[in-house]
Each structure stands twice: as C-alpha cells, then as structure tokens.
Amino acid sequence: MKLIKCYVENFGKLSNFTYNFKDGLNIIKEQNGFGKTTFAVFIKSMFYGMDAGKNTKIEKSERKKYYPWQGGNYGGNIEFEVDGNKYKIERFFGKKPAEDTFKLYDLATNLESKDFTENIGEEIFKINKEGYERSTYIPQGQIQIEMEDSINAKLGNVLESDNDVNSSEQAIIAINNAKKLYKKERGKGGLIDEKKEKLNQLERELEKRQSDFEILKIQEEKLNKLNNNIKEQGKLRDQSQQMLSEKMEQGRKVAKLETYKTILTKYNKSQENIDELTEFFANDIPSDDLIKNLTEKNFELEITKNQLKNNKFSVEDQEKVTYYKDIFDRNQITETQVNKGIEEYSKISNLENEIQNKTNKKEIIQNELKSKRLATILDSILAIVFIILGFFLIFKGVQEIVGFISAIIGIGLFILFLVNLKKSKKLDVKELEEKIEEMQSEKKLIERNIDKILDICNEKEQNKLNGLYNIKNQINSYNNLLRKQNDINANVQKNNIKKATLENEIKNGLTKYFVDLTKPYSELLQELTIKKNEYQSQLEQFNSLKREKEDFEKSNDMQNLDDVKDLSNIDESVLKEKIKEINIHFDKLSDEKNQVKNQIEVLENRIDEYEFLESDIENTASEIEEETEKYKILNTTESLLKQAKEQFSSSYLQDMIQNFNEYMKLIDNGEMSTNIDIKLDVKVDVNGSQKEIKYFSAGYKDLVYICMRFSLIKTLFKNEAPFVVLDDPFVNLDEEKTTKAINVISTISEKYQIIYFVCNSSRI
C-alpha cells in the first residue's frame, strides 16, 4: 500500500496545502511551527477519523486541537493505492462526530466506491486506531511499543475470530473485576465477607431476642404507672389554668376600662379643639387656592418693596450729574462739538505734513531755479559762439559745411535756452508761499478751537486728542446717568402703584380672619395655613376618635366591664410559675411514656421477627457457600485464560525476534545479544546478565525501539507493505546514533513508503 497525493483544505494551521508522495523515503523538512505534526495527524484522521471531542481540555482532544485556526471547511482528501486499486478518501469534520462526512472514490472511474466504509483504516490495516498509533504511526517521543489487543490478534492471524482473541485482555480484566465483587485481593471486602459479617450479626441478634419477652413485661408495667401520673398532673394543670384564666379575664376588663377612659379623654379634648377652630373660621374656611394666591401676592409685594428700596439714584451718581451739568449744560458743550474737534484734530497732522511737503517743494524749486539760471546763461553763450563761428566760416568760404553745422548747433542751443527760460517762468514760488501761509492759519484756528473746549472742560491731559476723547467719554457718562435717572423715576412710580394694589388685595383676603393686620403678612398667612391644617387634622382625629369610641362600645359589653370580681389575693406570676412547673413535669412524663411505648413497639416487632431470623441465618450461610464456589470458578477461569493468551502470543514471537535481530544488525553489526519476551519487552545481555532496556540511555533506547517498531510492522504486514509515518522521532539521538537510525530508515524505505517529518538537517 502507498500514498499518492493529499490536499488539506483546512486542518489546524494548514490551509489549501497539497503534497505529492513518492515511493520509498519522503522527507518533509520544515522549521518548527510549520505544522509537521498537524500534517501527520491529518493523514491518520483521513483513515481513522477524529475522536468524539468530549474532553474539555483542548490538548487531550485532537478534534478541538486541530480545529482550523482560520475557519472554513475542516478536512480535505488523500489518494492512495492498495491491492493494485487507487482510491481517494474525502473527509470533513465538524465540532461533533454527527457533523462528520466521509466519501470514498474509485480513481479509475471517479465514481463513489463502496469497497470500504468510513472504518477504512481498520478494514485495510486490520487493526484499530490505537493499534495503528502503536505500529506504523510513530509520533515524536512515542517510539516504544505497547501491546494492544488488535495488534495481538493480527500478529496471531486470527482476526476472523476477534470476538474471542481480540478481547482477551478485556475478558481477563472483566473476570478480575468480577472476582473483586466477591472478595478483595487484600484485606476484607466483597460479597463473601459482607455475607459473613451479616451472618454474625444475625446470630448475635437471635441471642438478644430470647431476653425480649421479660423486658417487654417490665416496660408494660412502667407504661401503666406513667399513664396514672400523667392524669393526676393533667387535673392539677386544668385547675391552675382555670384560676389563671379568671385572673387574666379580670385584668383584661380593667385594661379595657382604662382604654375606654383614655378614648373618652382624647375624644372630649378633640371636641374642644374643633369648637375653638370652628369659631376662628366663622365666615368660611379658606381654600388652598386662596392661600396660595395670597402667598404668591405677598411674595410679589416683598419683591416690589425690595425693588423700591434698591432702585434708587445713588448720591455718587447725583454728584456726577450736578458736576457734568455745570460744565456741559452751562457752557453748551455737546458731543457733536467734541466729535468735530476730534475730526479737526486729525487735520492738524495732515496740515503739518502738507506744509512740510510744500516747504520742501519750495526749497527744491528755488534750488532748481538757481541751477537753471546758470545753465541758461552758459547755453546762451555757447549758442552765440556756435552761431558766430558758423556764419564766420560760411562768409569766409572756408569749411562751409562745418560752418553750416556749427550755425545749426548754435541755433538749437539758443532755442533750448528760450525753452528753459519759458519753463522757469512757470515755477511760481510765490504761490507755494501763499498756500503754506494759508494752511498755517487754518492749523492755528483749529488749535484755538480745541484749546477752548479743553479749557472750558478743565481737561489737563497733555495729549489734546486724548483730552478730547476724555471729554467725549464724560459726555457719554453724563447722558447715561440722565437716562438711568429717568428710568429709576419711572420704575419707582410703577412699583409704588403695584405695591398699593398688592397690599389692598392681601388685606381684603385676610380681613375675614384677622382683626389686627399690623403683623407682617407672611406671618398672618403662615398662621392661617397652620390653623387650616390644624382644623383638618383635628377634624380627622375627632372623627377617628368618634369611630373608635363607637366601635369600642359596640364590641364590648359595657355593663359587664363594670362587674369586676375582687381577685387581688391571687398572684398571677405565682400561678404561672406553678403551671410552668406542672407542664415541665407533664412533658417529662409524656416523653418518658413515648420512649417506653417505642421500646414496647420495638420489642414486639423484634419478637414478631424471631421466627424469620432463623430462616435468614440458614439462607445467608447457604449464600456464602454458593458465592465462595463462584469465586473459585472465576479464579480458575482467569488462570486458564492467561495461560491460553501466553501460548497464543508465543506463536508470533519467533518472527518478531528474527525481524528485530535483522534490524539490530544495522545498528551494532550483531555485537550485542538481545532477547524479546511475549510482552515485547526487550532485554540486553550484559556480561551474562539480562538487563531491561530501561537501564540504557534515552538515545540507545530510541534506536532499539525503532528496530522494534519496524520488526513489528514487518511481522504484522506480511502480504501488503503499509506506509509508515515518522514524526521527527530521533530528537534524543546524538550524531552517531542518528546516522545509525537513518541507515535503518534508508534500508526499510526500499520495501516501505516512509513519510519522514523532520526539522533539522542533522537528522536527514
């Protein structure tokens, strides 16, 4: 048998993963964390499915441990060849086995095949999942072989009768458990010892029954005496109880009379209070709305009074008004005049700038006039020289052309002289001087007007513009104070009217109830509210007391209450103490009587059971004998079954030893002598002594165990060579032992398909 190809859709951390297998040795070298163990478990799960997942701990449940990290369908498919036929298993898993799906396809036809069921692993390998994990599936750290019934059965080639052999271990365990039911291996326990203890108890009980008749007679006589004592105590208790009842009845009558007197006193007092309040509310009882309305008006009146008190023109503000009025009204200084002064003050700066500009311009013009006069004189002299020279040359007839040019230049210079002379006439310095003088006059006029305003208002600010703004602010303050004064006068007039109206309304409302209205209205309103509430409360109390008085008179016989016997010579507390002592004695007698009755009942039952005890003793002895015989049979059966199993296991032992020695030669060249028992435990011959493998190093044990594994595989699968999964099993080996282990694998891969997962190149 061999694997061809697999596809992992989602399994643990593997997703959309494909791998093509080859014959012989398949080395899958990946780093830790790749998912090598996940891949190995996937191969196993395709053939054997997943566990039920009932274990809550994820590390103990492969179904939970390998649930896809990234979600999606949980599973995939694997293609393989067996007996010359090619198939594909497709399995997907859910969170519960009921959600799992299984399909098998024949790759020759691509149709669904019924050659195998979902138990395909057991049907192909002829071993169950546990047997597979202990044979061809070799995970890391679990190389050692542990025998299992399905392996044992396959080794013996008796899988056709696995109901007998495959369950031999379970049968031995079941027999052993059955033996323990009858008798424990150590100490006491089990059905046999329990029955023996029961027999001893029954025999002791039979002895006790013989004295029960005499005890029963004594207890019956004791019961008669107790009954007589109880009757006597009952009579004494009834007499004392009757006297106590009469005493308590007298006490109740006295208490009721006192209660009635208290009710009458409260009733009469309440009647007086009602009469007094009814006189106060002779006109009518004020409604809650009336009291509320008067209270709200009184609150509004107090607010109005506070407003009149607080809404006054202060002395400080009045002094300011007088001061400002003397300055501004007497001198007729207005905000408009001040604003005009502020506006004109800004012209002063402009005028000063303009005067300076024109003064500078005048100086520039004067300088230009001086320079132009000199240039003009020079131009005129030069022009005359060129003209005279030109005409001289022309008249002499010498250099006429030069003379003609010289004359033209002279005429041009003369024309330029005339133009400059004409421009200089346009430069009117006098006009600038007049303009400057005019602006200076305007500046002085503005300054006089501003100074006048500042002097009138007695403003000493050195910066005149700041002084003007100060005056403007004072005018604004003056106007605001005047408006404030007018507003206050209007509010005072309005609040005086409102105050008078509210006082009239409140007085009209209170006159019905109070003659003296000199007290504050709030106190009168509070007093009115209290009296109204008191009236309502007293009225309710009076009605309640009236009903209480009437109910008391109806429910009690008033004539009988007056008829009180004189029982003063009887002390109620002494009587109660006596009744208490009688009750205690009565209860003790009753308890003793009940105990005696119970003892009599037990004795009677035990006497009735006397005849059955002998029968129980006989039956129990017989049961002990039968169960002892059954225990002997189970003992014999267990011994024979173990002997048969050992004889059965020895049938395949020689093949295992031969195959094991063959693989061990690849490791030590046959230098070390080893032996295997029927439990597949390895022993090594050291100096003539058999040593168990557990005494050797972990590395050497792993080498021996890998040889044992492959000898087991060779013995198990004689006809069809299975594939073998190795999940990095050589982590404990040093370099030398790793080389030997790889040599074993290389040799075995010539016959078997090996799927070898490894993370380190040193183990390849």
Q: Are 133 and 122 in contact (CB under 8 A)?
A: no
Taking only the tens place, the pLDDT of each residue in 441-470 is 777 887 777 777 777 777 777 777 777 777
The overall average pLDDT reported for the chain is: 78
Rounded percentage of the chain residues whose pLDDT exceeds 90: 12
Instruction: Give the integer Cα–Cα distance in Å for 211 and 608.
Output: 14
Over residues 579-600, mean pLDDT: 84
Q: Which residue do the tokens 């996937």 mark? A: 42
The answer to whether residue 663 scores a pLDDT higher than 80 is: no
CA 46, 50, 55 angle in degrees (round to 5)? 165
The answer to whether residue 759 scores a pLDDT higher than 70 is: yes
Sign of the CA dihedral 155, 159, 164, 166? Answer: positive
The answer to whether residue 297 scores a pLDDT higher than 80 is: yes
Buried b (16+ CB within 10 A) or exposed e, 719-734: eeebbbbbbbbbebbe
Instruction: Give the integer Cα–Cα distance in Å for 112 and 77.
Output: 14
Confidence of residue 569 (pLDDT cuts 50, 70, 90): low
Higher pLDDT, 715 or 725: 725
Residues 6+ apart with CB under 8 A from 156: 165, 648, 649, 651, 652
- Considering 4-18, 42-56, 700-714, the range whose residues carry the highest mean pLDDT is 4-18
Taking only the tens place, the pLDDT of each residue in 169-195 is 666 677 677 767 777 777 777 877 777
Q: What is the DSSP string of 99-129?
A: G-EEEEEETTTTEE--SS-TTHHHHHHSS-H
For 454, the token pair is 């500042």
In sequence order, what are the beta bridge partners of 8? 17, 76
Q: pLDDT at position 117, please?
A: 93
Superfamily of domain 1-133: P-loop containing nucleotide triphosphate hydrolases (3.40.50.300)
Taking only the tens place, the pLDDT of each residue in 668-692 is 766 667 777 666 677 777 666 777 7
The answer to whether residue 303 scores a pLDDT higher than 80 is: yes
Domain spans of the chain, in order of start: 1-133
Largest CA distance in the chain: 205
In eight-state DSSP terms, residue 12 is T
Residues 6+ apart with CB under 8 A from 202: 613, 616, 617, 620
Q: Which of 376-380, 584-588, 640-644 has the lowest mean pLDDT?
A: 640-644
Confidence of residue 561 (pLDDT cuts 50, 70, 90): low
- Which residue, 675, 753, 757, is CA-closest to 708? 675
Q: pLDDT at position 687, please?
A: 62
- Which residue, 754, 757, 708, 756, is CA-closest to 1? 754
Threshold 0.85, pTM exceeds: no
Q: Which of 14-23, 338-347, 418-427, 695-704 has the lowest mean pLDDT?
A: 418-427
Q: Please give the order of strands across the beta sheet that includes 2-11.
A: 14-20, 2-11, 74-82, 85-93, 101-106, 111-112
The answer to whether residue 345 scores a pLDDT higher than 80 is: no
Q: Please give the order of strands across the beta sheet that includes 674-676.
A: 674-676, 682-686, 689-692
- CA of 441: how far to CAs of 438, 447, 670, in Å? 5, 10, 141
Q: pLDDT at position 605, please?
A: 76
